[in-house]
Amino acid sequence: MVNESVLERGHDLLWLQTSCRFCGLLISIACMLGAIQAQSGYEPTPGDTPLVVTGVSDAMAYSAGQSLRINGTVKAPGGAIALGGDVIVQGVVEGDVAAIGGSVIQLEGARIGGDVMVVGGTYRHVDPVPNRNPAAVTIMYAGYEQELRNMMRNPKDLLAPHWSASYIGFRVLAILFWFIVSLALTAAMPGTISRGIARLQLRLGRVAIIGVVGSLLIGPGVIFGLQYLPYMIAVVVGLLASLLILVAWLFGRVIIYAATGRWLQRKYLKLAKNSESVALLLGTIFWIALSSLPYIWPVVVAVVLVTSLGLALTARYRVGWKRQEL
pLDDT in tens, 240-293: 888 888 888 899 999 999 999 988 888 887 665 678 888 899 999 999 999 888
Nearest by Cα to 98 from 143, 62, 72, 149 = 62
What confidence score (pLDDT) does residue 269 get?
Answer: 74
What confidence score (pLDDT) does residue 321 get?
Answer: 39
Q: How far is CA 300 from CA 90, 160, 193, 304, in A?
A: 44, 14, 21, 6
Could you tell me if 253 and 184 are in contact, meaning their C-beta atoms sit under 8 angstroms apart?
A: no
Q: Which stretches of the chain score pLDDT less than 50?
A: 1-11, 33-40, 318-326
Nearest by Cα to 147 from 134, 136, 162, 137 = 162
What confidence score (pLDDT) does residue 9 get?
Answer: 46
Could you tell me if 153 and 146 are in contact, meaning their C-beta atoms sit under 8 angstroms apart?
A: no
pTM of the full predicted structure? 0.59
Strand pairing of 92-93 and 80-83?
unpaired
What confidence score (pLDDT) does residue 152 get?
Answer: 76
How many alpha carbons fall within 13 Å on the CB side of residue 98? 14
What confidence score (pLDDT) does residue 53 get?
Answer: 92
CA–CA gap between residue 81 and residue 98 (Å, rounded)? 5
Could you tell me if 44 and 69 are in contact, meaning their C-beta atoms sit under 8 angstroms apart?
A: no
